[in-house]
Structure 1
Amino acid sequence: MATKKAILSKDKIVSMYMDYTLENNEKPKSVYQFMKLNGHTENEFYSFFGSIEGIEKEIYVVFLEKTVELLHQNKDYETYDMKTKMLSFYFTFFELLTANRSYVVMSLKAHQNQLKNLMQLSDLRVVYKDYVLSILTDDYRIKNEKVQEYQEKAISEGSWIQFLMTLKFWLEDSSPAFEKTDIYIEKSVKATFELMNISPLESLIDFGKFMFKEKIQKKS
């Protein structure tokens, strides 16, 4: 009796790719070779991805999606303030990275050119910034609507830079259970939210509006 062919999925291909890379210490030479070794056709691959590079980018998106999924399993998550949600995200995300550290280290140190390594995070950057904006609350939002758009862009971009710095620290961390990374996360997130205190900035905006009106009135 013929063996029933395993049903293929996006997550299954991602898992196959990570296993191949770790076992062979390199990524597959071609889609054809990769799929044939796993008992599937090249055409099946293209139903889910357009290239090997597409899988590499998707892996990090999957890490984020799994992180958010795990966060929402906690019934108290929705009651957290933004700072607590951000801390929860970081700790959960880096736990997932730690569980897959061998792959992550290999993939993010594959090229001497760091920009090539970071290209794997281009899709993650998009979904990460969306996540940050999804948890942004009015406590950290400037009331002036004209400024809000620029503020949101600055917050999401700044948070992405912070994420990359945390990732770099984790990659170089050799402490037991990566405890230094946990300390780094706590301190860096705390510092970020202190800098996000909008009260001084709103006061400056109000002052600027007042001065502008004063000049207009004097001219008239």
Structure 2
Amino acid sequence: MRYLLSPEFAQLARQRTGKDDPTFIDMKTSFWLAEDPIGQNVLCPRGRRPGCALVDWLPRKHRREQTHFMSWSWRCSIGQMSSALHMYQNTTVPFIVPERISFFMCFFVNNQFPLIVEACSAGSDNLEDVFEKNLLRIGRLVAVLDTWDEYEQFVASKLNVPVVFVMPELATNLLHEQIDRGRQGIRTLTLSVSRVDSESAVAFYKEDETKVKRVIREIVSV
């Protein structure tokens, strides 16, 4: 969390993408599909081959045992992520200390070279191992939402893992505005959070999307 909120990460993202407020989709392209991919010449400590995960490339001080699993969207911008984490830090009791929070966040912990650069493997190959086992191992999930009226946390619900939802300040203020409207605003909120539309969700890899939707259909239909 400390690194996600740091000027160091923001500067890296802006320099790589050339944008003031890049999304993680923008960073995906400029981090790993550029002429000089980050971590290209660093030996992966697990695969023992050149090309490592971003977490292996970071200074050792930013690598700690994971305390929370993060659910997030690649369309989220660095500004939205920073705002959401600041809201999480400042509104949680007791207050969150960034140095004590370490996220399992696929952007950092997955080796993107076989996934994105070489495109030889899809996350669906071992979805249960990477997602469910790590979620159960960590036991706490923080869901970063870029807006209050769209979200899905199917697996966490299935596994009974506690979930904390955090949003950027702008989205939080819009949520408060709905609550301040009284009965009509609360009705709008209720309708929104009850309309979970997994069928319209998309993933970077079609294989991932197909498998996730199949799993949801199988469990919901039981």
Task: Output the TM-score relative to the length of structure 1.
Answer: 0.30
More strand as a share of residues = 2
More helix as a share of residues = 1
Point out the structure with max Rg over C-alpha.
Answer: 1
